[in-house]
Amino acid sequence: MRNSSRGAVDPFIVMDVMEAARAAEDSGRHIIHMEVGQPSSPAPARARATLAETMTSDPLGYTVALGLPALRRRIARLYGEWYGVDLDPARVVVTPGSSGGFILAFTAMFDAGDRVALGMPGYPSYRQILKALDLVPVEVPASPANGYQLVPGDLKGVDYQGLMMASPANPTGTMLDRAELGAMIETCHAQGAAFLSDEIYHGIEYDKRAVTALELSDDVCVINSFSKYFSMTGWRVGWLVLPERMVRQVERLAQNLFICPSHAAQVAALAAMECGDELQENLAVYARNRDLMLEGLPKAGFDRIAPPDGAFYVYADVSHLTEDSRAFAAEILETAGVAVTPGLDFDPVRGHATLRFSYARSTADIEEGLSRLQAFMKNRG
């Protein structure tokens, strides 16, 4: 039996780092996790309690493929609360995490061989999912001067049928303001291409509000998730917002690819949307951690960074320290007991000289991790 060429995708390096960190913990070491975007807080208490109560009286079977109608209505209402957008719930599709959303959107919007432009650095699973679907990721370098976000000039001469943007972005945490996002949507549409907006870090913002693409156009695809702001990574529930003409096509795909999202996760997600006070407490922790990182990383020698506007990452240029970010991350894990992610995950060209640090964990962990990093770099000379 042979392997398919579509399955020959690169590994998700952060998952390899997680496994190395787990092995170190199994050997008795205490590891500080700065490698993965995993909130240290659990799903909101009300969400967990609601699910526990529901499980005593509901068999939690299949739902319709587009998701629980109540959850779709509540997600639509969120757009009014956060952005002042009047959104028809019929345009909302609940998905098995944002990853399921990417698969559905890419499959519905593009034919084999179509080219989808991505900014580098960027979330690595974009390009791997595209490859697995016989689509062509077109990786366009974004400048540090622009916060590693693409600007219209970066796309001159680029052939593409789709453009994926993320704001706040992974791995940098930088954001596009309204004018910048609008310019990218206009540039994309002038090309006759589809615009996809990854908004899974919305809600985790600091000095300014994130802008949804839906404020600027109805002819966009928005991907979001309950993983980050709602602290529900392992629950695997997300959503798409689509132009009306695309909903039935995505529904047919969802019926056949996934049947439906997890019923249990949808019940919890609906309750989580009413937990604003608890979620804002989590945000206050991220804000404190961000301040600690922006103060502590430069003291350790990681001073070439783009300050994050949102999410919970700091992306550092470490070209003055190494030309092999993977080996450097392994050295930090082995010597300092801090797990960090090599930039090669996010930028195959320039990532050999960058690292991503996550500050999604508890403040105590961030303080300890920074102390270890400072000691490591001092001893390294």
Q: Around Cβ 147, how many Cβ atoms within 10 Å? A: 21
Element (H, E) at 222: strand 221-225
Edge-to-edge strands of the sheet including 341-342? Answer: 313-317, 354-358, 341-342
CA dist 309 and 229 (Å) reads 15
Helices 363-380 and 325-336 meet at what angle, rounded to 10? Answer: 110
Matching CATH topology for 13-43+277-380 and 45-274? Answer: yes
What's the fold here for domain 13-43+277-380?
A: Aspartate Aminotransferase; domain 2 (3.40.640)
CA dist 40 and 372 (Å) reads 19
| The predicted structure's pLDDT at residue 152 | 98
Question: The pTM is what?
Answer: 0.94
| The predicted structure's pLDDT at residue 3 | 83
Considering the domain 45-274 in this protein, what is its CATH number?
3.40.640.10
Q: Which of 304, 299, 356, 297 is nearest to 326 (CA)?
A: 356
State the burial class of residue 31 (Cβ atoms within 10 Å of its Cβ: 0-12, 13-18, 19+): buried
For the chain of 381 residues, list the mean pLDDT of each consecutive stretch of 10.
81 83 92 91 96 92 97 98 98 97 98 97 95 97 96 97 98 97 98 98 96 98 98 96 98 97 98 97 97 97 93 96 94 96 93 96 97 94 68
Query: Residue ranges of the domains in the chain?
Result: 13-43+277-380, 45-274
| The predicted structure's pLDDT at residue 61 | 94
CA dist 138 and 19 (Å) reads 29
| The predicted structure's pLDDT at residue 36 | 86
* Tokens linked to 175: 């954001």
Q: Which of 355, 366, 221, 352 is nearest to 285 (CA)?
A: 366
Q: Which of 246, 202, 253 is nearest to 100 (CA)?
A: 253
